[in-house]
Chains A and B, each alone.
Chain A
Amino acid sequence: MNVNPILSVEGLGKRFSSGGGFFSRATQVHAVVDVTFNVGPQTSLGLVGESGCGKSTLARCLLRLIEPDEGRVLFENEDIAGLLRPALRRMRQRMQMVFQDPYASLNPRRTVFQTLAEPLRVHGLAKGDGIETRVGAALAEVGLPVDSAKRFPHEFSGGQRQRICIARALVVEPRLIIADEPVSALDVSVQAQVLKLLEGLRERHGLSLLFVSHDLGVVRHVCDRVAVMYLGRIIEEAPVPEIFDQPLHPYTQMLRAASPVPDPQARFALPRVMGEIPSAMNPPSGCAFHPRCPQAMARCSEERPRLVDVGAGRCVACHLHSAASAEPFV
Chain B
Amino acid sequence: MSMPDTTLEPVRGWTHRFRANPTSWLGIVLIVAVILAAVLAPHISSFDPLEQSVGDRLMAPSAEHFLGTDSFGRDVLSRLLHAARISLTIGVLSIALAMVLGSAIGVAAGYVGGWFDSMVTAILDVLLSFPTLLLGLMVVAMLGPSIENLVIAIALTELAPFARVVRAPTIVLKSRDFIEAGRALGFSDVRLVVVHIIPNLLSEVVVVASLWLATAIRTEASLSFIGLGVKPPTATWGGMIREGFENILDAPWLAVAPGIAILITVLGLNLMGDGLRDAIDPKARRD
Name A residues whose Cβ lies closer than 8 Å to a Cβ of B. Answer: 60, 63, 65, 88-90, 92-93, 96-97, 99-110, 118-119, 122-123, 154, 158, 165, 168, 172, 184-185
Pick the 3 closest A-B CB pairs, nearest first: A92-B186, A103-B4, A89-B186
**Chain A neighbourhood of B176, CB < 8 A:** 104
User: Could you say which of B2, B9, B185, B186 contacts A108, with CB atoms under 8 Å apart?
Assistant: B9
Query: Are A105 and B178 closer than 8 Å at their CB atoms?
Result: yes
**Chain A neighbourhood of B66, CB < 8 A:** none
As a 0/1 sequence over residues 140 to 181 of chain B, the CB contacts with chain A under 8 angstroms (1 = contact) are 000000000000000000000000000000000000111011
Q: Is B72 an interface residue (CB 8 A)?
A: no
Is chain A's interface secondary structure helix, strand, loop, or mixed overall? loop
Query: Are B10 and A109 closer than 8 Å at their CB atoms?
Result: yes
- Which residue of chain A is the closest to B185 with respect to CB atoms? A119
User: Could you say which of A60, A63, A92, A103 contacts B5, with CB atoms under 8 Å apart?
Assistant: A103
User: Could you say which of A89, A99, A172, A184 contacts B180, with CB atoms under 8 Å apart?
Assistant: A99
| Chain B contact patch, size range | 20 to 34
Is chain B's interface secondary structure helix, strand, loop, or mixed overall? loop
**Chain A neighbourhood of B2, CB < 8 A:** 101, 185
CA distance A289 to B6 in the complex (A): 37
- Which residue of chain B is the closest to A60 with respect to CB atoms? B180
CA distance A176 to B185 in the complex (A): 13
How far in angstroms is the closest Cβ of chain A from B181? 6
Are A154 and B10 CB-contacts (below 8 A) given A99-B177, A100-B177? yes
Query: Are A101 and B186 closer than 8 Å at their CB atoms?
Result: no
Query: Are B184 and A92 closer than 8 Å at their CB atoms?
Result: yes
Known: A63-B184, A99-B181. 14 other contacts (CB 8 A): A65-B183, A65-B184, A92-B184, A92-B185, A92-B186, A96-B185, A99-B180, A101-B177, A103-B6, A107-B178, A118-B185, A118-B187, A119-B186, A122-B187
Q: Is B19 an interface residue (CB 8 A)?
A: no
As a 0/1 sequence over residues 77 to 121 of chain B, the CB contacts with chain A under 8 angstroms (1 = contact) are 000000000000000000000000000000000000000000000
Within 8 A of A (CB), among B1-59: 1-2, 4-6, 8-10, 12
**Chain A neighbourhood of B10, CB < 8 A:** 108-109, 154
Q: Is B231 an interface residue (CB 8 A)?
A: no
**Chain A neighbourhood of B184, CB < 8 A:** 63, 65, 92, 96-97
**Chain B neighbourhood of A104, CB < 8 A:** 4-5, 176-178
Query: Are B187 and A165 closer than 8 Å at their CB atoms?
Result: no
Q: Is B233 an interface residue (CB 8 A)?
A: no
**Chain B neighbourhood of A105, CB < 8 A:** 177-178, 181
**Chain B neighbourhood of A154, CB < 8 A:** 9-10, 12
CA distance A122 to B9 in the complex (A): 25
- Which residue of chain A is the closest to B181 with respect to CB atoms? A105
CA distance A128 to B20 in the complex (A): 43
- 27 A-B residue pairings within 8 Å (CB atoms): A63-B184, A65-B183, A89-B186, A90-B186, A96-B184, A97-B180, A97-B181, A100-B177, A101-B4, A101-B177, A103-B6, A104-B4, A104-B5, A104-B177, A105-B177, A105-B178, A107-B199, A108-B9, A109-B199, A119-B185, A122-B186, A122-B191, A154-B9, A154-B12, A165-B181, A168-B185, A185-B2
